[in-house]
A and B are shown apart, each in its own frame.
Chain A
Amino acid sequence: MKNMKPFTRGLVLMLLGHLVGYGVGLGLDTLVSGRMNFTASIAGFFSLVVGVALFFHGLVGYRTITRGIVWQILGTLGGALFVTGIRALMGLKTFGPPFLFTEPAWVFGGLAGVICFLLGHGVVDDWIRMARGLDVPEHRADAPGWEKFYSPSLDHKVIGVQYTITALVLLVVGGTFALIFRTELAASGLQFLTTDFKLFSQNGLQFYNTLMSLHGMIMIVSILLGIAGLMNYLVPLLIGAHDMAFPRLNAFSFWIAPPAAVLLLSSLVLGGFDTGWTGYPPLSAKAPLGMQMFFLGVFVAGWSSILGALNLIATVLRMRAKGMTAFRLPIFVWAAIATSIISLTATQLIGLSFQMVMFQRLFGMGFFDPAKGGSPVLFQHLFWFYSHPAVYVFILPGLGVVSELLPVFVRKPLFGYKWIAMSSLAIALVGFLVWAHHMFTSGMNEYLRVPFMYSTLLVAIPTGVKFFSWVATIWKGKISTPMPSAFLFVVGAIVVFLMGGLSGPPNATVSTDLHLHDTYWIVGHFHDTLFGGFVFPFFAALYYWFPKATGRRLNETLGRWHFWLMTPAFFTLSLGMMRIGLLGMRRRIADYDPLQGFDPTHLVLTIAAFAIALSVLIFIINLVVSLKRGEPAEGNIWNSRSPEWQVASPMPAHNYDTPFEVVGEPYDYGLPGSKYVEFAKK
């Protein structure tokens, strides 16, 4: 055991943990129900959490993240027992199948578990010391090697990598869920997720719905962490800051996400839920226990967004290099600001709407219960007030990456810099006024539909400005062949996002939306916007900045395989979805009417989904292999004007040894003798 590599040791211990946890859970379940149920929720829950805890124990031993997860498990059980004790005193139901504890006990336990994770992990240690009047060092040296990534590091670059790796892990988890239900959809009729299928207190249909719903939210959290990773790593480097404005808050913003992810995943084993990621009541008011764990997980993850955005805005406002005026900011920073304005001010609304349903379930409050005078449509207003702007949170950083990388690769200035910068702000601000276009068929006030149609269509204008400016940037640009993988993904992002953009307006005009709403057309449309606005730019950014973070390049051959497999597969997937959606394929259904003739298309969609998964697998192999054996990246490998490429890779611990001053425009490629930044002499 001692001689194994940490990762192998982690995997072995994880398997062991799954088995031990399963045994413990099965024993407890048998104790309370009196019957042996091999697919019991409790067995699944203990198997999940003990496995995860032992995995990290194998990696780093019993400290930091491992201690956090162990404390989270103990905190959850302790909290649940506390509530159960109170219930026993009040003469209410205490223990029972299928979830061992009652719903209020689980919800309180889940919340207590998150707090215990933070205490056990150590990310709030400094604040506790400060509160007790003890000294806290300004800088804390990071642990050597990999261990710093599991610790509460204060370095924005470490935190950026933590975010990015967590995002990739969740991307794989969410993608795996999609592959499972995509396989079920390959042919009409229920194949394996049937009513006879039993797992974690769910039959096959319920399990399908749980996977489909969790695919949505896990991918959303993955995207939020992915953009946070990019912004955390890049923004201080791009503006010449030595770190974020509030490093401890920064670490906290990241470390509240892992316990939230555990909560979200636990909803899979605790009965699941059948509402989709939107969680509309009254359906969500009567879904199984998994619904509550889902609501709580999203509520906690929201803190990460809000606090991260606050930190980023403060950093850009206060910590820019000398001479970096508003219109000399790197364009990615404009996108990050626009995104952060939304995250900071709108995330509260999804938290609120989910909290209200939680309280409706826990305390019988009638917010959305028509029998008590509540309104189901009110929930949709609150929910979409965040969840529409949220899609701009997902895409604006990606579009910023496209604008940032294009000039470097085509060796031309960014066409219409100010217009692109302002278009990001315009999208963010107009985005606040369009939420009800998700509700054109909902039965909300009829006359409101027309103003929301006008405001929604306005979003097309700043989006169009971006496209036209990108094309003008590329026009007459000198692109070297063979094209680097990073640039391939930039071009892919533009075309895929264009498909998403062009399939948008028909959903905005009310009458056509009456047909399109809640169909696979919409599913195809938003997969286009999220692949074009996040997935492709995210990969472009990883190919481009991986050498900055590690000092080694990613393999270009594998990169091209990744691109040329993923792109056609994705086009097949999204166009196929739109095609059958127009013909009458509804969203979120576990099975479809064979008479509609969609069987061949669904088979193709399933194959395309697996091809995308294979391409991502190639990328992950590339990541792992290049980390050790990649070609060393020395100096300014992309011949960029940006400050981070003027210094050594990997980036020094406190960024720039000597401060720089901005002396020119950021993207003046082709202007002889011009410079963006000048470093002070030592």
Chain B
Amino acid sequence: MRHFVIAGILVILAAILTYLGLDAIGLLPIPASAQAMSIDWLWNWEVITISFLFALIVVPLVYSLVVFRRKKGDTTDAEHIEGNTKLEIAWTIVPLFIVMAFAYMGAYSLAETRRADPQAMVVNVTATQWAWSFEYPDYGFSSKELRLPKDKQVLLRMESKDVIHSFWVPEFRVKQDIVPGRVTELRITPTVLTAPNVPFKVRCAELCGTSHYSMEEVVIVSEEADFVAWATEQQTLAAAAQTPEARGQQLVVANGCLGCHSIDGSALVGPTWLGVFGREEELSDGAIVVTDEAYITESILDPQAKIVAGYETQLMPVYTFTEEQLVDIIAYLKTLK
């Protein structure tokens, strides 16, 4: 009996210390959305339970190894205890109730994260290998980065152009895969402003190929007034973007081209676009080409036809554009010098 009392006290102490320790080091990033609240609430209950169960198993285990170890010279076996049916039933039934309670809490907190606001602002998300593009249909423009107003629910309608991706901003908690051939949805209500120069980031969470790691983009949460000002400015810019170069830039952003082609000369999986027009390139078969309109058009529509030497192993997906769009894109490429 004495051993049970001592071990029992130690279990409770160890459980409390484990929980306080875990709580003190801070396990999760800051919760920055309404959806994160119910998730963190459930998580906290889980950490409490984990701390208790960890102590409940480890303390008696270590206690036995230390206190009951064999005395010197003792060669006898231990006490013959085969089991205890009441105890076995107890530790089957009690955990059953605990896990059912957690399942109920899990369903409740899932429902909380899915609470829909009919007034939610729609953003169309396009994921490609390896870039994000965000279209604001209310304003009629596309953006490389995601900007959201605080305390207003946003409905993300997400599509993929190639493989499965997954939308995840750790501070918002919720995650949703983006599956080719259909639209998946996610609702987020940001509740925390991003500090200047310390944005959140959307990080693709489903392995989407070799440069999966780099599929990250800036997420900025601002006051609604600031957001509207930014969106209106972008809207004006997009409307004014009636030059071929500006239309080309919009197309390039919307199609995620910059996931593989840099515009500042840095090395990504595709050749850089800095000075791409009119330069000489060596192809994988050793031929030399000048990157004129014809070559660039062919390389967009049939990327495997003439590959620049050194880039054979990374297959570029096939894109389809109208002739006007190709002219706009090439006009944009000519500006990159």
Contacts and interface: CB of A to CB of B under 8 A. Distances in A.
A222 B73 CA distance: 43
A513 to B, nearest CB: 9
B65 A474 contact: yes
Interface stretch (B107-115, B143-151, B222-230, B325-333): B107-115
A460 B166 contact: no
A80 B89 CA distance: 61
B182 interface: yes
Interface string B61-103: 1001100111000101111111110011001100110011011
A587 to B, nearest CB: 7
B88 A469 contact: yes
Contact of B46 (A478, A509, A510): A509
B68 A477 contact: yes
Interface string A462-496: 00110111011011111111010000000100110
Report the interface size class on chain A: 35 or more
A35 B181 CA distance: 41
B205 A517 contact: yes
Given A512-B39, A587-B205, 5 more contacts: A208-B210, A419-B92, A468-B88, A478-B77, A670-B80
B264 to A, nearest CB: 16
For B57, B76, B207, the residue with the greatest tally of chain A CB atoms inside 10 Å of its CB is B207
Contacts of B92: 419, 461, 464-465
Interface in A577-600: 579, 582-584, 586-593
Interface stretch (B117-125, B234-242, B293-301, B312-320): B312-320
B61 A495 contact: yes
Interface string A65-101: 0000000000000000000000000000000001000
B216 A472 contact: no
A479 to B, nearest CB: 5
A283 B78 contact: no
A283 B286 CA distance: 30
Interface stretch (A4-12, A305-313, A448-456): A448-456
Given A377-B179, A511-B109, A480 B209 contact: no
B127 to A, nearest CB: 13
B58 interface: yes
A195 B267 contact: yes
Contacts of B78: 410-412, 476-478, 669-670
A669 B77 contact: yes
B102 to A, nearest CB: 6
A472 B87 contact: yes
A35 B286 CA distance: 9
A212 to B, nearest CB: 9
A586 B175 contact: no
B213 A589 contact: yes
Contacts of A275: 207
Contacts of A508: 106
B42 interface: yes
Interface in B19-53: 27-29, 38-39, 42-43, 46, 49-50, 53
Contact of A582 (B28, B54, B65, B209): B28
Contacts of A515: 28, 39, 43, 170, 173-175
Nearest to B181: A370
Contacts of B209: 209, 274, 283
Contacts of B27: 579, 582
Given A515-B170, A591-B214, A443 B206 contact: no
B133 to A, nearest CB: 19
A510 B106 contact: yes
A475 B211 CA distance: 52
Contacts of B3: 476
A510 B173 CA distance: 12
Given A461-B99, A510-B107, A471 B77 contact: no
Contacts of A247: none
Given A457-B103, A461-B95, A502-B53, A476 B28 contact: no
Contact of B177 (A201, A442, A475, A583): A442
A412 B77 contact: yes
B212 A506 contact: no
B177 A441 contact: yes
Contacts of A670: 77-81
A478 B102 contact: no
Nearest to A372: B181
A610 interface: no
A589 B81 CA distance: 51
A592 B79 CA distance: 55
A114 to B, nearest CB: 28
B102 A457 contact: yes
Interface residues of B, number: 88
A592 B213 contact: yes
B164 interface: yes
A370 B60 contact: no
A481 B69 contact: yes
Interface in B264-294: 267-269, 286
B203 interface: yes
B193 interface: no
A509 B77 contact: no
A464 B207 CA distance: 33
27 contacts: A35-B286, A205-B211, A275-B207, A286-B315, A370-B182, A412-B78, A412-B79, A412-B81, A441-B205, A443-B182, A450-B103, A457-B99, A458-B99, A474-B60, A494-B61, A495-B61, A498-B58, A509-B105, A515-B39, A515-B173, A515-B175, A518-B175, A518-B207, A584-B203, A589-B212, A589-B213, A670-B78
Of the listed residues B65, B213, B214, the one surrounded by the most CB atoms of chain A closer than 10 A to its CB is B213
Interface in A199-238: 201-203, 205-206, 208-209
B163 interface: yes
Contact of A467 (B50, B57, B173, B178): B57
B69 A419 contact: no
A383 to B, nearest CB: 13
Nearest to B176: A441
A591 B213 contact: yes
Contacts of B83: 413, 415-419, 469, 472
A519 interface: yes
Interface in A664-682: 665, 668-671
A331 to B, nearest CB: 13
- With a 10 A CB-CB cut-off, give which of B96, B286, B312, B313 has the most chain A CB atoms: B313
A416 B82 CA distance: 6
Contact of A283 (B42, B208, B312): B208
A659 interface: no
A282 interface: yes
A307 to B, nearest CB: 32
Given A274-B209, A509-B105, A510-B110, A464 B164 contact: no
A509 B106 contact: yes
B180 A282 contact: yes
A471 B61 contact: yes
A217 to B, nearest CB: 14
Contact of A98 (B96, B170, B180, B312): B312
B210 A505 contact: no
Contacts of B79: 412, 476, 670
B69 A479 contact: yes
A367 interface: no
B194 interface: no
B184 interface: yes
B269 A512 contact: no
Given A203-B314, A509-B102, A583 B70 contact: no
Given A509-B105, A515-B39, A480 B99 contact: no
Contacts of B210: 203, 205-206, 208-209, 274, 590
A104 interface: no
Contact of B99 (A505, A584, A591): A505
A282 B162 contact: yes
Contacts of A669: 77-78, 80
B334 interface: no
A8 to B, nearest CB: 38
